[in-house]
């Protein structure tokens, strides 16, 4: 969430920057600043009214003590009027603050200067590519056919138990899935991230804290009776561990990792491009999250990008990195790099990770601050990345490692799963 004082200070600059997102901010900013002016004026009037009321109350006490009952009763009538005025002003202030907060929630983060302008994923900018695309034997299959052929993932059984988008992993498929989770977690802890096991349900405050609410409310599974939400990513519970915290400079960097199932409704996702593991309602993911001082956050982002690069290099999967354009940038992100693995059998790129710097956008919602060297309170920067999301990584492995004899297991995963071939 943007800070009102920063909007006032950088209004024209922010309006121009948000045009990269195709977001017309001018009228919204004018309304925000007008509401903030009303809020400040109302607060000042309320403070003055309360001060006068308190002063009169002290005077009334002295008058009664001195036997000046008539004067005291006159003042009591005035304090009654002031109390009513205070009540009305408090209600007006509360209403204004709520209206201001709700309006601020509608404004996306300011994109970093390096973010290209654009309207959709077609305008994203390729910044890196690595790995040779394998040449598959004739008759090679997409992963959903391979899953059926080798009996390692049952999409129909998942549909029977729950519905589409909830696959059942079986035998070597389940073991390979577990191997990937363990491998990703081990690599994260080796890199200095502390592992956490996290709740899969979060409250509304957590959803607002990291920006899933109100922006993605329709995409989250909502347990209405308890007003809890199934997490769309471990980013939500991990980052919210630090909500309302006041930290010190020596606490940074904070580096966290966690494996969780993730749940997304993915409303409106249909067609051949979402077959099999390409788009799921429940999937597994290992997440990395960092809290940084502002001056260090972009170096941290580069480090996270290098971490994901290292995973894909060891898995020997062909991949590319995209810098997302303004029109494809997530609501809360200032800069995002997407990683995509090439699916040879499908002849298309599959997104398998997003690594983002949110700068202080989430921290302002979370009230996540630290004391700097001057002992002033400053908002921290938050970052997160998938390292990695499993479904499309698994799809890439199944498709790119297939041979006429079966599916080879990437060498780095063999110690984790205990077999070299799915056949």
Closest CA to 340 of 74, 197, 133: 133
Give the tens place of pLDDT for each residue, 113-130.
999 999 999 999 999 999
CA 50 → CA 43, 90, 97, distances in Å?
10, 10, 19
Identify the band that residue 351 occupies on the pLDDT scale cut at 50, 70 and 90: very high
Secondary structure (3-state) at 289: strand
Task: Answer whether 301's CB lies under 8 Å from 346's CB.
Answer: no
Domains and CATH numbers, the chain: 4-104 (1.10.287.40), 121-422 (3.30.930.10)
CA 370 → CA 7, 237, 238, 255, 408, distances in Å?
22, 20, 18, 16, 49
Q: Model-level pTM?
A: 0.93
What is the pLDDT at residue 61? 82
Identify the band that residue 397 occupies on the pLDDT scale cut at 50, 70 and 90: very high
The mean per-residue pLDDT over the stretch 234-244 comes to 98
What is the pLDDT at residue 71? 79
Q: Dihedral angle at the C-alpha atoms of 346, 348, 353, 355, nearest 10 degrees?
A: 180
State the DSSP string of 326-388: TTTS-TT-SEEEEEEEEETTTTEEEEEEEEEE-TTHHHHHHT-EEE-TTS-EEE-EEEEEEEE
Closest CA to 2 of 240, 13, 163, 188: 13
Q: How far is C-alpha 411 from the chain's CA centre?
A: 33
State the DSSP string of 67-109: T-HHHHHHHHHHHHHHHHHHHHHHHHHHHHHHHHHHHHTTSPP
Phi, psi of 237 (to 5 degrees): -70, -35
Give the tens place of pLDDT for each residue, 49-107.
999 888 888 888 888 888 888 877 778 788 888 889 999 999 999 999 999 999 999 99
CA 55 → CA 52, 60, 70, 138, 151, distances in Å?
5, 9, 18, 90, 81
What is the pLDDT at residue 64? 80
What is the pLDDT at residue 107? 97
What is the pLDDT at residue 153? 98
Higher pLDDT, 216 or 399: 399
Identify the band that residue 224 occupies on the pLDDT scale cut at 50, 70 and 90: very high
Secondary structure (3-state) at 242: coil
Pairing of strands 402-403, 319-323: unpaired
Task: Answer whether 331's CB lies under 8 Å from 109's CB.
Answer: yes
Identify the band that residue 364 occupies on the pLDDT scale cut at 50, 70 and 90: very high
What is the pLDDT at residue 327? 97
Alpha carbon distance 165, 163 (integer Å)? 6
What is the pLDDT at residue 57? 83
Average pLDDT, the chain: 95
Alpha carbon distance 206, 211 (integer Å)? 9
What is the pLDDT at residue 321? 98
Which DSSP helix (H) or strand (E) runs through 55? Answer: helix 26-65
Task: Answer whether 184's CB lies under 8 Å from 310's CB.
Answer: no
The position carrying tokens 């983002």 is 356
CA 115 → CA 25, 39, 123, 293, 337, distances in Å?
18, 34, 11, 21, 10
CA 5 → CA 40, 89, 419, distances in Å?
12, 23, 59
């Amino acid at each position: 969430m943007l800070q009102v004082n920063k909007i006032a200070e950088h209004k024209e600059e922010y309006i121009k920057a948000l045009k990269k997102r195709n977001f017309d901010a001018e009228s919204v900013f004018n309304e925000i600043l007008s509401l903030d002016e009303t809020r400040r004026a109302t607060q000042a009037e309320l403070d003055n009214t309360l001060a006068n009321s308190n002063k009169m109350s002290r005077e009334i006490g002295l008058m009664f003590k001195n036997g000046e009952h008539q004067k005291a009763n006159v003042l009591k009538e005035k304090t009654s009027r002031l109390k009513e005025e205070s009540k009305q002003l408090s209600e007006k202030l509360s209403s204004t603050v709520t209206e201001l907060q709700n309006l601020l929630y509608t404004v996306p983060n300011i994109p970093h200067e390096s973010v290209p302008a654009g309207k959709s994923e077609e305008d994203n900018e390729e910044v890196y590519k690595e790995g040779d695309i394998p040449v598959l034997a004739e008759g090679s299959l997409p992963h959903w056919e391979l899953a059926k052929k080798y009996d390692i993932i049952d999409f129909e059984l998942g549909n029977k138990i729950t519905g589409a988008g909830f696959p059942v992993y079986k035998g070597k498929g389940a073991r390979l899935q577990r191997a990937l989770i363990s491998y990703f977690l081990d690599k994260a802890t080796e890199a200095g991230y502390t592992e956490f096991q996290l709740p899969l349900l979060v409250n509304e405050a957590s959803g607002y804290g990291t920006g899933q609410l109100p922006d993605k409310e329709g995409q989250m599974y909502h347990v209405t009776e308890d007003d809890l939400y199934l997490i769309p990513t471990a980013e939500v519970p991990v980052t919210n561990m630090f909500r309302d915290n006041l930290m010190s400079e020596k606490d940074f960097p904070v580096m966290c990792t966690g494996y969780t199932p993730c749940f997304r409704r993915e409303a409106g996702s249909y067609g051949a491009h979402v077959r099999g593991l390409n788009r799921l309602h429940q999937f597994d993911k290992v997440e990395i999250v960092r809290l940084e001082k502002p001056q260090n956050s972009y170096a941290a982002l580069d480090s996270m990008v290098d971490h994901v690069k290292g995973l894909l290099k060891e898995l020997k999967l062909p991949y590319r990195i995209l810098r997302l354009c303004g029109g494809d940038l997530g609501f809360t992100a200032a800069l995002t790099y997407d990683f995509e693995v090439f699916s040879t059998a499908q002849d298309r790129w599959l997104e398998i990770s997003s690594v983002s710097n949110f700068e202080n956008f989430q921290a302002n919602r979370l009230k996540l601050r630290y004391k700097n060297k001057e002992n002033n309170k400053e908002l921290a920067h938050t970052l997160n990345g998938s390292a990695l999301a499993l479904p499309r990584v698994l799809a890439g492995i199944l498709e790119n490692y297939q041979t006429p004899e079966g599916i080879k297991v990437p060498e780095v995963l063999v110690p984790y799963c205990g077999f070299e071939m799915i056949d």
